[in-house]
Chains A and B, each alone.
Chain A
Amino acid sequence: QELLVESGGGAVQPGGSVRLSCAASGFIFSRYAIHWVRQAPGKGLEWVAVISDAGRSTYYADSVQGRFTISRDNAKNVVYLEIPTLRGDDTALYYCTRDYDILISYGMDVWGQGTAVTVSS
């Protein structure tokens, strides 16, 4: 079974940091790009970032460019999302999802269950 499992979320104070993890199983992880998508409570989906299959290329939404860092460890089948300075508008459920090719995307076909980040004092 092809699975993505997120972890690392929780309640954090403004200005705090968090590192989210996305662990993959059941497929050849190194052949897929991985995205992070977030959803604020009661709101729609917002694409956050993507990392290519080998990790050589990363792209970010304008809203997080310069703040968030996506990385991956293909030996461990894990992708990370580091958020060093959290703001209230970062409160959301963060999903990781895979994509076969970021040049000619085939859509995000496998999703995790999400990990919640709540930024509050």
Chain B
Amino acid sequence: IQMTQSPSTLSASVGDSVNLTCRASEDILIWLAWYQQKPGKAPKLLIHKASILQPGVPSRFSGSGSGTEFTLTISSLQPDDSATYYCQKYTHYSWRFGPGTKVE
């Protein structure tokens, strides 16, 4: 199963709402997670099972979708949200990350 993300880079302003898209080449039901990675840091889990927010993650982050198309929405974008965002599928004891979306 291949994962794609769009756009590859996104420029937005503080306060904007942005949508990041992740697509799977086959149906993965809801077995999708989203991660945030800042330069020089380890990734941070934001969402699992497509829409479940990890404890401690701000509520401006939300996930939706199922099957082959998923969305990470960041409402009211903050300067601290500048990072690369990766989706990740987990099915059939195989995990795969998407190529990432850089949010500037």
Min C-beta distance of B30 to chain A, whole Å: 10
Contact (Cβ within 8 A) A107 B45: yes
- Main SS of the interface on chain A? strand
Identify the stretch in A13-21, A66-74, A77-85, A108-116 within 8 Å (CB) of chain B at 4 or more residues.
A108-116
Min C-beta distance of B83 to chain A, whole Å: 13
Contact (Cβ within 8 A) A35 B95: yes
Partner of B42, one of A61, A106, A114: A114
Q: Is A105 an interface residue (CB 8 A)?
A: yes
Contact (Cβ within 8 A) A105 B48: yes
> Which chain A residues in 55-114 approach chain B with CB under 8 Å?
57, 59, 61, 95, 97, 102, 105-109, 111-114
Partner of B54, one of A61, A109, A114: A109
- Main SS of the interface on chain B? strand
| Size bracket, chain A contacts | 20 to 34
Q: Is A47 an interface residue (CB 8 A)?
A: yes
Contact (Cβ within 8 A) B48 A107: yes
Contact (Cβ within 8 A) A45 B94: no
Kindly report which residue of chain A lies nearest to residue B86, judged by CB atoms. Answer: A45
Please list 14 pairs of residues, one from A and one from B, whose beta carbons are closer than 8 Å in the complex, sorted by A's number.
A44-B97, A45-B37, A45-B86, A45-B100, A59-B94, A61-B94, A102-B93, A105-B31, A105-B48, A105-B90, A106-B48, A107-B48, A108-B33, A108-B43
List the 7 closest A-B pairs by CB distance, nearest first. A107-B48, A111-B42, A47-B95, A107-B33, A45-B97, A105-B90, A59-B93
Given contacts A50-B93, A107-B45, A111-B43, 12 further A-B contacts (CB under 8 A): A44-B84, A44-B97, A44-B100, A45-B86, A45-B88, A46-B97, A47-B88, A95-B42, A95-B43, A106-B49, A108-B33, A113-B42
